[in-house]
């Protein structure tokens, strides 16, 4: 009995020692969830759980698709899913929605963070009031959430973007990045990986000349594309790892003298990009299925709120029709590798 108590205490000390935020090689902040209650993998999923789904912004088709998956999971667990959120993806825009979820006594919050640190105090206070917090798509500071559901590994996403643009421009020339908002955790982590990748000898022919921010706003992204092309007459290609940015950049190229001359790749939804892939403006781009991401994030929230998991590495749970998942290092779950879309396969996808 005594030995067990001592071991348990050592565990608590070890856990608290792991907290805090440092940076990993992928440039994402790392740390551990603060929950210390033991997981009960055999616990049934609670019914009538109230879950708030809070995307970066509401008027973005990527998050509309993710919401559909979240709603599907919400019905499967017989819970109540409420989707809400700001119309712009700015840093502090989500704080009031987080506070409201806590005031309304929601059981869990599923969010894609516009800024890892701006939302952290509100998330911590929501957790202190009993809410479980799952981030998906774009993480918050790790000590402010229980689990982060990543769409694919940060490394996988960053390296594949560089490979796609390199292949598209024949391995040499100037390239630029058209990102979303300057504080977005996911974008910045991917850009870090891209820069590390570009420093490798196999990409010596590629030169990153600028990173621009379209703020996940269609018009701003459209204008920033135009700006990049005017500022860099030798530009050969653009990577836009945002569904809003890549669609706006494709529309600009399609209607300009640069069509077919400047390569564009990035992360886009097949439905927004189909036209540009079919008419040759874009050869290939990548993404995962956002609805599966929303589904997995919501199931993770339900597993946390039901006590099946606490967010510690190695814990397992069943995410409905997606099957079994195990929490990885730093409280992170990974949905699966991204899909690359080209003329040959794009018609098999409808989202
Ligand atoms: C936009 C958002 C989102 C990102 C996708 C690829 O919709 O920036 O966070 O994951 O693009």
For residues 93-101, average pLDDT: 98
Q: Tell how far the Cα of 85 is from the centroid of ligand 1, in angstroms.
A: 15
- Distance between CA 244 and CA 64 in Å, rounded? 13
CB-hemisphere CA count at 13 Å for 278? 8
Each residue of 254-274: pLDDT tens digit? 999 999 999 999 999 999 999
Mean pLDDT estimate for the chain: 91
Q: Taking the model in full, what pTM does it have? A: 0.90
Percent of the chain having pLDDT more than 90? Answer: 89
CA distance 31 to 19: 5
Q: What is the per-residue DSSP string for 246-264?
A: HHHHHHHHHTSTTTTTSEE
Backbone angles phi, psi at 134, to 5 degrees: -115, 125
Residue nearest to atom 3 of ligand 1 (CA): 242
Ligand 1 atom index nearest CA of 267: 6
Q: Collapse the DSSP code of 196 into the 3-class scheme (helix H, G, I; strand E, B; otherwise coil) and give the result.
A: helix
Residue with token string 């399609």: 254
pLDDT at 337 over 70: yes
Phi, psi of 294 (to 5 degrees): -65, -40
- pLDDT given at position 26: 38
Q: What domains does the chain contain, in order, with CATH numbers?
A: 50-151+289-335 (3.40.50.2300), 154-287 (3.40.50.2300)
- The encoded tokens of residue 154 equal 């940060």
The CA 242 to ligand 1 mean position distance, Å, reads 5
* Cβ-contact 186, 138 below 8 angstroms: yes
> Which whole number is the average pLDDT over 153-171?
98
* 287-308 tens-digit pLDDT: 999 999 999 999 999 999 999 9
pLDDT at residue 1 above 80?
no
Rounded distance between C-alpha atoms, residue 190 and residue 246, angstroms: 15
> How many CB atoms lie under 10 A from the CB of residue 129?
13
């Amino acid at each position: 009995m005594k030995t067990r108590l001592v071991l348990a205490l050592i565990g608590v000390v070890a856990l608290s020692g792991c907290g805090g935020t440092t940076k990993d090689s992928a440039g994402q902040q790392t740390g551990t969830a603060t929950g210390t209650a033991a997981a009960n993998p055999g616990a049934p999923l609670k019914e009538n759980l109230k879950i708030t789904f809070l995307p970066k912004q509401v008027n973005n088709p990527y998050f509309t698709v993710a919401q559909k998956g979240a709603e599907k999971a919400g019905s499967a667990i017989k819970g109540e899913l409420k989707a809400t959120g700001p119309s712009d993806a700015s840093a502090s825009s989500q704080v009031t929605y987080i506070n409201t979820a806590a005031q309304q006594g929601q059981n869990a919050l599923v969010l894609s963070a516009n800024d890892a640190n701006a939302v952290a105090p509100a998330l911590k206070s929501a957790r202190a009031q009993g809410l479980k917090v799952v981030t998906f798509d774009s993480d918050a500071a790790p000590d402010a959430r229980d689990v982060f559901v990543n769409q694919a590994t940060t490394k996988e996403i960053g390296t594949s973007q560089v490979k796609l643009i390199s292949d598209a421009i024949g391995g040499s020339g100037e390239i630029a990045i058209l990102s979303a908002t300057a504080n977005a955790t996911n974008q910045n982590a991917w850009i870090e990986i891209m820069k590390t990748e570009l420093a490798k000898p196999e990409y010596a022919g590629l030169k990153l000349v600028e990173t621009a921010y379209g703020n996940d706003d269609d018009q701003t992204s459209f204008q920033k594309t135009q700006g990049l092309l005017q500022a860099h007459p030798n530009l050969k290609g653009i990577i836009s790892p945002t569904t809003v940015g890549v669609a706006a950049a494709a529309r600009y190229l399609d209607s300009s003298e640069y069509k077919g001359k400047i390569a564009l790749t990035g992360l886009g939804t097949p439905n927004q990009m189909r036209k540009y892939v079919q008419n040759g403006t874009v050869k290939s781009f990548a993404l995962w299925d956002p609805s599966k991401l929303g589904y997995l994030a919501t199931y993770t929230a339900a597993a946390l709120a039901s006590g099946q998991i606490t967010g510690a590495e190695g814990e397992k749970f069943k995410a409905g029709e997606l099957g079994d998942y195990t929490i990885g290092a730093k409280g992170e779950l990974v949905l699966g590798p991204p899909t690359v879309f080209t003329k040959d396969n794009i018609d098999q996808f409808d989202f």
